[in-house]
Amino acid sequence: MTAKGIVDIRATAHHGRDRRAQEAERLATKRRLFLILNGKSAPREDVRLAVARVRDAGHEVLVRVTYEPQDVARFVGEALCAQPRPDVIVAGGGDGTLNQVVAALLAADAGPDDVAVGVLPLGTANDFAAGLALPAEDPAAALAICAEGEIRTIDAARVNERVFINLATGGTVTQITREADPRAKRLLGGAAYLVAGASHIGRLSPSKARFSADGFSWEGDFLAMAIGNGRLAGGGVALCPEARLDDGLLDLSLFPQPDADHVLGLLSRMLSETEAPLESYAETARFSSLTVESDAQLSLNLDGEPMSADRLKVEVLPGAIRFVTGAAPEGLLT
């Protein structure tokens, strides 16, 4: 055997030992999880089994169940004051619950080194979790990732005084997602938004605004806009397909008002989990700071949480959160 072959074998063996040592260290590390569980999901038997399974694996899981809107912030404060402090605060619910946890952490001036965030996806769309390819259909597997998955530092974002971690959407699509029948959402999931959209076809009205960022300026009528730290919204639609969670930038996808022949096609693509690309409809930009101005109130949806304003100051918050991402899809993280 040549000297090069011996070196290659030794290098391969050393690499294998390193990987085995890293895996053994990961399994030996037991995490303390602080699960903030949306009260609507508390009765679910699969959630109870997920908590029991993670506890059986040797991890500590403390559970708090929300009843009133302010409970999330109160429980985040409790977690930050706990001794010992939890390793991961887990948002058990939909995108709105996750938004509230992240907002409460940032409002408490908790730095990314203080505590990590994880998600147990239990909502209707679970868009942020879906973007990370987390197993929303298997709560036990999702909670196990919170206990054992890789933790990475990611960005968050702010619109005026409100925070989001996934996407901020606005325009007619936001109105449609607000008006989707909750019963249909439970039965149909993300497809409920398409059903709601079909009922709006005859009365769609565009929004009008001015957008300005470094190297980008646009003014006119638009049907929808999406500002993405993450990629998916509205039940799995890739509105910002090139966004990265840790690049210190946000992505804008702006959909100008199309002619009458293309309205239904655009709406159906935006409100269903189709593979058809949306880029041909969109104006796009990437920025760290964006200003949006309108003569009328603009309705927005921040990770499922509504807001409205006639002037929006949007900025990225680089490296604001440590998040249990698990094995995220290629390209979503740098």
pLDDT for residue 33: 98
Res 99 pLDDT > 90: yes
Contacts (Cβ under 8 Å, ≥6 apart) of 267: 172, 173, 197, 201, 204, 223
**Whole-number average pLDDT of the chain:** 83
How much of the chain exceeds pLDDT 90, in percent? 63
Band (pLDDT 50/70/90 cuts) for residue 16 is: low
**Cα gap 217→202, rounded to integer Å:** 30
**Cα gap 147→27, rounded to integer Å:** 10
How much of the chain exceeds pLDDT 70, in percent? 75
Contacts (Cβ under 8 Å, ≥6 apart) of 179: 196, 200
Res 284 pLDDT > 50: yes
Instruction: For residue 263, give the nearest of 232, 312, 311, 224 by alpha carbon.
Output: 224
| Local structure of 252: helix, strand or coil | strand
Q: Which DSSP helix (H) or strand (E) runs through 54?
A: helix 45-56
**Cα gap 4→15, rounded to integer Å:** 16
- List the catalytic residue out of 68, 305, 315, 330: 305
Answer for the pair 20, 13: CB distance below 8 angstroms, yes or no: no
The pTM assigned to this predicted structure is 0.82
Answer for the pair 190, 234: CB distance below 8 angstroms, yes or no: yes
Token pair of 130, please?
Answer: 């879906």
Is 305 noted as a catalytic residue in this protein?
yes
